[in-house]
A and B are shown apart, each in its own frame.
Chain A
Amino acid sequence: MPISAAPVPAPVAKVGDASDALDLVADVLVLGGGPAGTWAAWAAAAAGAKVVLADKGWCGASGATAPSGTGVWHVPPDPVQREEARASRESLGGFLAERLWMDRVLDRTYDNMAQVAAWGYPFPVDEHGQQARRSLQGPEYMRLMRRQVLAAGVRILDHSPALELLKDDYGVAGAAGVERRTGRRWRVQAQAVVIATGGCAFLSKALGCDVLTGDGGLLAAEVGAEFSGMEFSNAYGISPAFASVTKTAFYRYATFYHGDGRVLEGAGSARGRSVIARTLLTEPVYAQLDQAPESLRESLRKSQPNFFLPFDKAGIDPLTQRFPVTMRLEGTVRGTGGIRLVNAECGTGVPGLYAAGDAATRELICGGFTGGGSHNAAWAMSSGYWAGGGAAAHARSLGVNAASRRPIGAGRATLRSAPGSRTLDHAAVVKAVQDEVFPYDRNLFRSTAKLNDSLERLDQLWQAVQDHPEQTARDVVRAREAAAMTATARWMYATARERRETRGMHKHEDFHEQDPAQRRRLVTSGIDRIQVRAESASETSVLAKAAA
């Protein structure tokens, strides 16, 4: 342990009872305070709604974007450039995206980035004196979003993870959770809820991702929401072996090496990532960004200060020195699967429940592969904006009788077990789930036999994770995270088993080719018993239907 910070026993915050709970009433409750959540909260407030935003961490520092830097799918409304943008990733995504959704995300992102500029984000200026709005520095962007949300009158509850949704016969009506530091319970009764809790990276320590444990998916499933694209959930980010920084863009300039200095043939950050993974199964892999043009080297440093941070601290120059790399699971954070959306407002089909950002499916614009932050950033700000507006409109539509609703908690796993049941060892569950989803030769390279094998153990874990945790704030939150990760892993593998082909990021060792007959989405539902059904793009094109 470090000599400079001797550990002291941490005070254990017991979960409080209902008598000292924080009770709030709002029109819209947003769960999650990353890009999607802050845009949702801002849009709902702009539409006149009274809004509460609850973040598991601290809105502004929490999530995958804040500690990062991200490209943005920002394309001027020029027909040629827009066509290139739409076409660029259709093949990588396995042709599961929809052009109507791409168009509206491109439009919305263009406008939202103008709003970000109007708020004073210090965009760089190009040689023509124009602001370049193709990227955002994470800390700056999220600090700005927190300020804007507060300025819009939104009440933020930091360090306040939701444990369950509230519902009644009219649909979702708020959420309840716990304040992690004090153990005080909170309950927000709201006419609509936006889930913007991010994806699930299974506590892999990928940059900023340890708060992203699939919590929102579990909340949504417990009230009957469905998922789409859960087979596209095996994204891995390259990082230095010792560090957390999974920013992969600059590895386009990398050469990958064996330990003895030989070049690792076929390895690359885009299509050659499988070669790196296969090699890592048996030996260390090294990288050096030796293909970065001399003229770009200063630009790289200016573009992503955080990329260089672990190298600078470790005394490594990644441009001139080799360093060991690993691949950390980013799951559905950089995958595309998530809560299924059924309308243009990012509704989930459950009345009063909306989803945005990485918590929602991104198949609509990416199909089965995102290839990086740019689409995800555009999706987060667009879907957040729509979900917030949709939630505000839903709240308005309920009218004056809304105040008389008496919703009850819809949570199940870890929350409703019988007294006297066993005490849940959530750390053991997390480790067991990680053992199923981390290995490259299980999750990245899939096969029917391996998926069946993992699902058998994951189904058993799902039984175990019903037990009651210790009633401290940390334990109840960790237990729900363990349950959410277990559920997410089961949805992933149950869905992957039904896609008997290789498409997008889903690589199947028994079926190496893309099968034209399987150009359709897979919809997943259920918690205790999981069901998967196929739906064609024409069935899912809610926008086309709305326009017809």
Chain B
Amino acid sequence: MIELVSQDRCVSCGICVRVCPTQVFDNGAKGIPTIARQEDCQTCFMCEAYCPADALYVAPEADRPVQVDEATLVAEGKLGKYRASLGWGTGRRSTAQEDDSFRILALAARAPTAPPQAPAAPTAPGPRP
């Protein structure tokens, strides 16, 4: 669930308030959004994807709030990581063009994986893409 709106990074653009599909945020003082309805967060990470300032952190825990520490998140490079992995933001290229699903689907169609109860069976290596 959403756990952090960084007061240092937020540029008060209001995008997260607008795009959140479950209306978790409200406009707060100085335009910095507040997490008004955390329990409504569906952990879809869309606010992170759209935040131009990498000011938001959605923790992976979907069913309960957790403690987060902004300095630690920054140090671990966890703010803005999803947006970067989508290739969204100035100077980036959408990673949709690197989507390798077609290779995975082609390989899966040719060689179904061994049933999981056969632990010793090595999976046939596929051609390197």
Residues of A participating in the B interface, judged by any CB pair closer than 8 Å: 1-5, 7-8, 10-11, 56-58, 60-63, 66-67, 69, 71, 121-126, 132, 134-137, 139-140, 158-159, 180-181, 205, 207-211, 240, 242-244, 252-256, 263-268, 272, 291-296, 298-300, 302-306, 308-314
A/B interface sample: 11 pairs, CB < 8 A: A1-B65, A2-B4, A5-B3, A7-B38, A124-B102, A132-B101, A159-B23, A207-B42, A256-B116, A293-B126, A300-B100
Q: How far is the CA of A263 from the CA of B115 in the complex (A)?
A: 12
A-B contact count (CB 8 A): 215
With A4-B4, A263-B116, A299-B100 as contacts: A205 and B62 at CB distance below 8 Å: yes
Q: Which of B83-97 contact A (CB under 8 A)?
A: 85-86, 88, 93-97
A contact residues around B96 at 8 Å (CB): 121-124, 136-137, 140
With A66-B44, A263-B116 as contacts: A302 and B95 at CB distance below 8 Å: yes
Q: How far is the CA of A209 from the CA of B94 in the complex (A)?
A: 25
Q: Is the CB of A5 within 8 A of B97?
A: no
Residue among A4, A56, A58, A295 making CB contact with B129, cutoff 8 Å: A295
B contact residues around A292 at 8 Å (CB): 123
B82 to chain A: closest residue by CB: A309
Q: Is the CB of B60 within 8 A of A7?
A: no
Q: Is the CB of A244 within 8 A of B62?
A: yes
B20 to chain A minimum Cβ distance, whole angstroms, is 7
Query: A137-B99, A255-B119 given. 9 additional CB < 8 A pairs?
Result: A3-B69, A61-B19, A69-B99, A205-B43, A207-B44, A293-B107, A293-B123, A306-B45, A313-B81
Q: How far is the CA of A305 from the CA of B85 in the complex (A)?
A: 6
A contact residues around B113 at 8 Å (CB): 252-253, 291
B contact residues around A310 at 8 Å (CB): 60
Q: Is the CB of A7 within 8 A of B42?
A: no
Residue among A134, A158, A308 making CB contact with B18, cutoff 8 Å: A158
A312 to chain B: closest residue by CB: B81
A contact residues around B123 at 8 Å (CB): 291-293
B30 to chain A minimum Cβ distance, whole angstroms, is 13
A5 to chain B minimum Cβ distance, whole angstroms, is 4
Q: Is the CB of B21 within 8 A of A211?
A: yes
With A4-B68, A5-B5 as contacts: A299 and B43 at CB distance below 8 Å: no
A313 to chain B: closest residue by CB: B60
With A125-B97, A295-B127 as contacts: A137 and B86 at CB distance below 8 Å: yes
A contact residues around B125 at 8 Å (CB): 293-295
Across chains A and B, which 5 residue pairs bring their CB atoms closest together, nearest first? A57-B21, A135-B101, A310-B60, A299-B100, A132-B102
Q: Is the CB of A140 within 8 A of B94?
A: yes
With A299-B104, A302-B100 as contacts: A180 and B23 at CB distance below 8 Å: yes
Does any Cβ of A come within 8 Å of B28's Cβ?
A: yes
With A137-B86, A303-B104 as contacts: A205 and B63 at CB distance below 8 Å: yes
Q: Is the CB of B35 within 8 A of A5?
A: yes
Q: Is the CB of B19 within 8 A of A244?
A: no
Q: Is the CB of A272 within 8 A of B82?
A: no
Q: How far is the CA of A256 from the CA of B127 in the complex (A)?
A: 26
With A7-B38, A10-B26, A252-B113 as contacts: A139 and B46 at CB distance below 8 Å: yes
Does any Cβ of A come within 8 Å of B36's Cβ?
A: yes
Residue among A180, A263, A309 making CB contact with B60, cutoff 8 Å: A309
B contact residues around A158 at 8 Å (CB): 18
Q: How far is the CA of A243 from the CA of B127 in the complex (A)?
A: 32
Q: How far is the CA of A132 from the CA of B20 in the complex (A)?
A: 31
Does any Cβ of A come within 8 Å of B75's Cβ?
A: no
B contact residues around A61 at 8 Å (CB): 19-21, 44, 46, 50
A15 to chain B minimum Cβ distance, whole angstroms, is 15
B87 to chain A minimum Cβ distance, whole angstroms, is 9
A357 to chain B minimum Cβ distance, whole angstroms, is 16
Residue among B61, B68, B105 making CB contact with A134, cutoff 8 Å: B105
Q: Is the CB of A299 within 8 A of B95?
A: no
